[in-house]
Structure 1
């Protein structure tokens, strides 16, 4: 940012201005990513809370799957509608609405007297999680400069895994110290009210997306927002790009399904849906939702499994830091391929250990080591690349629909995995269940190699023009 000219980028005043702009972007980023923290906490907390709910709510294998997966089912529809609502009403305004829904859903699950209220409350909470999974990455991508978009957008992934780590840690603490207390799972769940309130308050102090403002004709406001986020010269140059694209799209309606008859839009849409599917068919959420149960089956006691499961949260956070660092230095596509190969290999090893090693402490530690390895590849490569590319590849007029549809598919695959996993474990054994994920992982590797493009180092407007010119051509 210091390579520009003029007072805004040179000398003491320029340095002060530069620091203010970076602070403003940083503040907006961390506030918005509280939505990611809530996403992570609410999806991760069920891992520790579920064993304590079984007796209180009289859960069977099927209702256990329903409690875990109902949030995911709601998230699919939150994602599908969230993108269109954000297009119509603004990214900032809709994230404020999500904060209220997060709060209502959290209170509903914490106070649920029976499994019906729990499932309905988890569905409501899922609407907020799904909406956040679409709106927050779009908002961050539209605020950030092209050179730093990878690091800025993937902070949301860092907050997701941080939320999961907090959920695992607080659940382990409460379960270990107060595990004999009736309804301890309610205290595990209610903690999510704090970041929900923080998100609602904080979003009042961040700007609206300059690209959304320009798309709705508020060019002056868009320029002022960019000037608060960038040095003067950079802001004006980016503003001209954004304004040009907005004017080009102004005469067109917001993209709908009929627009997919255009070859380049159809290809981008197809790649987006594929990215969503291959991120989930690794089976990552079988470990994130049922990690405690997997470790119990492997040979740990319930209390030991709760504590050991914290390792999954720690490695997820550490790997995400590594992933953010790598995104600034290597391409998205090779990271995705390496991640898919790593997760598939780890799943194969988990299946073999579960099949060949006798049940006991040794098998428990081997499975734990392999789940940690799996998560290192998943959270260090696949997940940050997926969420980043989904926020990048769709053109402005298709962004809400495309991101919403892709994340809807992502959550529906997540729902299928989380609902079926305990049923599959009971029906065909844990080893065979993981072998199923290995076959799906091989298919994911082939898809990524054939269809996923490289997007690193290009502005959102440049990507749009490149996709248009490369329509129908091979991946480059």
Structure 2
């Protein structure tokens, strides 16, 4: 029994250490929310450069997500996370000491590479270290750490903004806090082992079995070792997809759906609230200090909603959950637009806007976000998974980048009300897309989903030859 407790304790340490990457992801994306008002004054930012500072991280994240998976396949999951910890630290210190906008954008871009890399490497490492019966719960702990990191950023922003708000460089103190978890992540990853799956993939089978015996009971370690060997052998016999496969109709449709799901999540405008929540509340009527405190509610509801969303995934059909979430977020966005017009200049407006952003995030983090990532994992068959996920996640980050860059410009040029009407309009488009094109994936095996996509269009006629050729290559 002591041996089992020791193995579970060691696995718990591995999970805690590696999910610090998720915490850094959340903190670095959330801290700009409160730092931006002070940074704008200190560095002389306008609406465009505000958007550039916030969104440069997102452009870096798009590239980091694309190359992070490949680098972790080459270097190993553990070593890749170590490199990411160093990049997180360098990016954090660079942003903290930035004397001008150009330097800030460069180091925010480097931070983005770390954020994007961690967004693919940490979940992979967690999935490969976790026992199958706990895998779903363990991997979703990373999602909790991300929103927890954002909440932590909002809390520190509020504390520092209200106690040191008169200090010229208070935003630098907000940013530098992220250096601590980066150091802990680096030191922690030196003490944890490499993924057994990656070691087997590289032919280091004795090391892999030794690590499995450290985190599993002996009989389970040996049976899992054989399962991993069999799975890797199967994958090596499977030809990987490439851009030429887009000539096949059903492959095009799956990739189109993957990109659509990714874009749908972002055009809700969720990250305009996560990155510019303080600015939105200031525009509604709060003073900076009050807006920083009020913004904590957005972080808190995100954490609570993610927990509820994870629970709901096992109870509610995916497509229905996504549509309900989109209806909720679109309604909240529409109401922000309406009340911003009707209550303009009113004392009540900032409290109404805060209530509606909380409502928006409850639907977003409780329904849309968990379904997005789960459906992206479910719709792609094995041969297409790396290719399809890579394109979809890249499009997600690029859409995030465009919205992050454009939002402060829209806020200044067309105002709070009209900006949210624009997002509400995109929400209506998202609902129509999901209703028309997205199939239900709950309780369907990956093989059943692949068969559904193959047969969706019925007879292919002119394209039938391509289909036959494609099947012959499987």
Range into which the TM-score falls when normalised by the shorter chain: 0.7 to 0.9
Aligned partners of 1:24, 1:327: CA distance in 2, in Å?
A: 29
Of 402, 410, 420, which aligns to 2:406? 420
Tell me, yes or no, if structure 1 residue 28 matches structure 2 residue 1.
Answer: no
Residue 345 of structure 2 aligns to a residue whose secondary structure is coil
Moved more, 356-365 or 438-447: 438-447
1:472 to 454, 466, 471: 454
What is the distance in 2 between the residues matched to 1:413 and 1:187?
A: 30
C-alpha distance in 2, partners of 1:238/1:66? 47
CA distance in 2, matches of 1:437, 1:233: 54
How many residue pairs align between the two structures? 457
What TM-score do you get using the length of structure 1 for normalisation? 0.87
| Deviations 1:281-329, CA, capped at 9 Å, x for gaps | 1100111111111111111111111111111111111212222333344
Residue number in structure 1 paired with 2:82: 96
- Cα shift at 1:273: 2.1
2:229 to 212, 231, 243: 243
8 Å CA contact 1:74, 1:124 repeated in 2: yes
Asked if the contact 1:96–1:199 (Cα under 8 Å) also holds between the matched residues in 2, the reply is yes
| Correspondence for 1:78 among 58, 64, 83 | 64
Aligned residues of 1:298 and 1:360 also touching (Cα < 8 A):
no
Closer, same or farther in 2 for the Cα pair 1:307/1:362, shift >3 Å? same
Query: Which residue does 1:382 correspond to in 2?
Result: 368
Show the counterpart of 1:270. 256
Pairwise CA distance, 1:279: 1.3
Q: 1:118-133 maps to which residues of 2 (within 5 A)?
A: 118-133=104-119
Distance 2:438 2:129 in 1: 24
Q: Partner of 1:206 in structure 2? A: 192
TM-score by length of 2: 0.88
Cα distance in 2, alignment partners of residues 316 and 421 from structure 1: 21
The alpha-carbon distance between structure 1 residues 396 and 141, as it changes in their structure 2 partners (threshold 3 A), is: farther
Q: Is the 8 A contact 2:381 2:450 kept in 1?
A: no
Select the residue among 92, 114, 138 that pairs with 2:100. Answer: 114
Report the equivalent of 2:168.
182
Q: After superposition, what is the alpha-carbon deviation per residue over 1:93-124, rounded to whole angstroms, capped at 9, x for unaligned?
A: 21111111111100100000111101111111
Match of 1:361 among 338, 343, 347: 347
Question: Equivalent of 2:55, from 69, 75, 97?
Answer: 69
Cα distance between partner residues in 2 of 1:442 and 1:23: 47
Matched residue SS, 1:429: helix
C-alpha distance in 2 between matches for 1:422 and 1:205:
43
1:342, distance to aligned residue in structure 2 (A): 1.5
Unaligned runs of 5+ in 2: 458-474
Q: Kindly state the Cα deviation for residue 230 of structure 1 after the two structures are TM-superposed.
A: 4.7
Residue range with higher mean Cα deviation, 207-216 or 311-320: 207-216
Runs of 5+ unmatched residues, structure 1:
1-12
- Displacement of 1:424 in angstroms is 1.1
Number of the residue aligned with 2:269 = 283
Query: Cα deviations across residues 235-281 of structure 1 (Å, max 9, x unaligned)?
Result: 55555444333212324565433344566654543333222211111
Q: Per the alignment, do residues 238 and 337 of structure 1 end up closer, same or farther by CA in structure 2, a change over 3 Å counting?
A: farther
Q: Which moved more, 1:257-266 or 1:419-428?
A: 257-266
Pair 25,445 (structure 1): closer, same or farther in 2 beyond 3 Å? farther
- 1:403 maps to 389
- Tell me, in whole angstroms, the C-alpha distance in 1 between the residues paired with 2:159 and 2:320: 39
Match of 1:308 in 2: 294
Alpha carbons of 1:47 and 1:95: their partners in 2 closer, same or farther (altered >3 Å)?
A: same
1:340 CA displacement: 1.8
